[in-house]
Amino acid sequence: MHSVQGEDGEALTRRDLLRRGAGGAAALALSGGALGAAASAVAAPARARYALGFTSMTAETRVPALPVDGTIPSWLSGSLLRNGPALFEVGEEAFNHWFDGLAMLHAFSITRGRVGYANRFLRSSAYDAWKQKGKILYSEFGTDPCRSVFSGVSSVPISAPIPNANVSLEAWANGFRAHTEVPIPVRFDPATLATLGVVPGSTGQMGTAHPHGDLVTRERFSYEVSLAPPKTGVRVLVEKAGKVRELAFLASAEPGYMHSFALTPRYVVLFQQPFIVNPGSFVTGPPRPIVEHFRWAGRTQPANVVVIDRHRGGVVRTIELDPFFVFHHVNAYERGGTIVMDVSGHIDSRIIDALYLKNLRRADQRLPAVKLRRLTIDVARGKVQVEQLAAASIELPRVNYGRVNQHAYRYAYGIGQRGPASGFVDQLVKIDVTRGSARLWREAGAYPGEPVFVASPSATREDDGVVLSVVLDARRRTSYLLVLDGRTFEERARATVPHHIPFGFHGIFTKR
Ligand SMILES: [Fe+2]
């Protein structure tokens, strides 16, 4: 190990869905692949070393004390809660895409230098279908159960009453929620990881897994995408004290896919990329997974930056720019009359194809490059400048959110690749966005997940704290919680789990 300073339940019927879709209330279960791509049937020439991270883990375990190497700071007290897919096969069927597997919640509980671990599947409708029927019954991001359940001609997604919320976690209004890209959060208990039910009230079919919470104003910002004709488009929402208000509705005949957005003191900013869907294709098109209804139109269509007044509502400015593809916003803030908005930018939507499990498990897999891009938005003049901030690749970006979200900042943390031959993510990165320099953590056979920054209670600098990441040790076939020093990016400790943890997406740290 070393640190390097470098550049680098109840199924709705088809008729129900058609009816509800026409009425604007159908919910898409969005999370992943077509049937029949079981791990055993992957036509890869060789299996990647890290493929263990895309292998199901079905045991629900609770380990009171993990073996710890190194010293965990005594001030670090609380739980790292994480979310991600953990089951990729259901009976004789298999999910196709990384985004599809059944959600499992994980908790690393840290107190006085000791670490406990527990996990539990989210009790989603898809989980119930697995346990009770041994089948995939609901549409996921890249998996379409219609192919086996029906022989009809339409592919209206089969929505789940309780979504397979396997993407991210949120602490809001004294409760904890799991999200996927359906705007129906699933509540859970952070102590027991028990599923508590859904948060009702959505009107769209897709949403964001990354709502923003303003800790000062106590406002929560999100969006929902309506794919139910005739009023299709994006609805931007703010919630305060339990009341939800629409800030803007961006009508669009072919809405684009979005995963996250940016928040500044005055604005909500959307990056609308030309990865678009004709909502009618869900009704008239042949059965296919949700994501396959979308198409990259970047050769003929621009991307749009849409600036929305977060206080008065309404669109302030829409600005076209050359297209690229974004899952994750890093941070945003205002500087005079401009908005500075940083994102993890992909060239186009090819990353979605790369994340099909049949591709990810191949030894010759190559992930498309992803770089930290800064959009400097001149709101008055309607201009956007785009620049690359660092050579190092970065995805699943995080910042010291409590301190720098909506403010000028210096450090972004993320996962990345040493180079194109890495195949998958094999290093953690800390980018100094003011200089473009990067500190890296990597180790042979180690494949780290999203780094979560936790500030020290005595912090004076932005990076005073630790960075937590769950790492797959492909050589030992186990996973461990890695604790890095926030400043130096050097290892302070690791706590090893007795089994592997499939690669997940996002997590949060909650103090005790
Ligand atoms: Fe995400």
CA of 67 to the centre of ligand 1 (A): 30
What's the confidence (pLDDT) of residue 139?
Answer: 87
Residue 70: inside a domain, yes or no? no
Structure confidence at residue 282 as a pLDDT band (50, 70, 90): confident
Given a cut of 90, is residue 502 above it in pLDDT?
yes
Structure confidence at residue 218 as a pLDDT band (50, 70, 90): very high
Given a cut of 90, is residue 226 above it in pLDDT?
yes
Residue 61: inside a domain, yes or no? no
What's the confidence (pLDDT) of residue 299?
Answer: 96
What pLDDT digit, counting tens, does each position of 88-137 carry? Answer: 999 999 999 999 999 999 999 999 999 999 999 999 999 999 999 999 99
User: pTM value?
Assistant: 0.90
Q: Which residues contact 226 (CB under 8 A, 6 or more apart)?
A: 24, 203, 204, 205, 232, 233, 234, 235, 255
CA of 99 to the centre of ligand 1 (A): 10
What's the confidence (pLDDT) of residue 7?
Answer: 34
CA of 505 to the centre of ligand 1 (A): 7
Given a cut of 80, is residue 146 above it in pLDDT?
no
Which of 143-152, 223-232, 462-471 bottoms out in mean pLDDT, i.e. has the lowest? Answer: 143-152
Structure confidence at residue 235 as a pLDDT band (50, 70, 90): very high
Which of 138-152, 191-205, 260-274 bottoms out in mean pLDDT, i.e. has the lowest? Answer: 138-152
Mean pLDDT of 74-101: 97
Residue 455: inside a domain, yes or no? yes
Number of domains in the chain: 1
| CA–CA–CA angle 325, 263, 389 (5° rounding) | 50
What's the confidence (pLDDT) of residue 288?
Answer: 85
Residue 140 near residue 99, CB atoms below 8 Å: yes
What pLDDT digit, counting tens, does each position of 62-73 carry? Answer: 999 999 999 999
Residue 409: inside a domain, yes or no? yes
Amino acid at 471: V
CA of 42 to the centre of ligand 1 (A): 26
Mean pLDDT of 12-36: 32
Q: Which domain holds residue 139?
A: 2-54+79-511
Which backbone phi and psi does 307 adopt, to 5 degrees? -100, 125
CA of 179 to the centre of ligand 1 (A): 10
Nearest to 364 by CA among 354, 353, 377, 352: 354
Pairing label, strands 212-214, 233-240: unpaired
Q: Where are the alpha helices (DSSP H) in 366-407?
A: 401-404
Q: By percentage, how much of the chain surpasses pLDDT 70?
A: 89
Residue 63 near residue 118, CB atoms below 8 Å: yes
What's the confidence (pLDDT) of residue 396?
Answer: 98
What's the confidence (pLDDT) of residue 153?
Answer: 52
CA of 110 to the centre of ligand 1 (A): 25
CA of 151 to the centre of ligand 1 (A): 33
Which helix (DSSP H) or strand (DSSP E) does residue 480 occupy? strand 478-485
Given a cut of 60, is residue 222 above it in pLDDT?
yes
Nearest to 210 by CA among 241, 174, 172: 172
What's the confidence (pLDDT) of residue 443?
Answer: 97
Given a cut of 70, is residue 29 above it in pLDDT?
no
Nearest to 36 by CA among 102, 90, 104: 90
What's the confidence (pLDDT) of residue 156?
Answer: 73
Strand order in the sheet with 267-272: 262-263, 267-272, 303-309, 315-321
Given a cut of 50, is residue 211 above it in pLDDT?
yes
CA of 328 to the centre of ligand 1 (A): 6
Residue 348 near residue 325, CB atoms below 8 Å: yes
Mean pLDDT of 331-355: 97
| CA–CA–CA angle 412, 416, 417 (5° rounding) | 150
Over the chain, what is the mean pLDDT?
Answer: 89
What's the confidence (pLDDT) of residue 423?
Answer: 86
Residue with tokens 């009702």: 200
Structure confidence at residue 155 as a pLDDT band (50, 70, 90): low
CA of 69 to the centre of ligand 1 (A): 30
Structure confidence at residue 158 as a pLDDT band (50, 70, 90): confident
Residue 62: inside a domain, yes or no? no
What pLDDT digit, counting tens, does each position of 380-423 carry? Answer: 999 999 999 999 999 999 999 999 999 999 999 999 999 888 88
Q: Which residues contact 475 (CB under 8 A, 6 or more apart)?
A: 444, 445
CA of 209 to the centre of ligand 1 (A): 6
Residue 475: inside a domain, yes or no? yes
Given a cut of 60, is residue 9 above it in pLDDT?
no
232: domain CATH number is 2.130.10.10
Residue 143: inside a domain, yes or no? yes
What's the confidence (pLDDT) of residue 154?
Answer: 59
Residue 195: inside a domain, yes or no? yes
Mean pLDDT of 26-45: 39
CA of 15 to the centre of ligand 1 (A): 32
What's the confidence (pLDDT) of residue 338?
Answer: 98
What pLDDT digit, counting tens, does each position of 182-193 carry? Answer: 999 999 999 999
What's the confidence (pLDDT) of residue 285?
Answer: 72
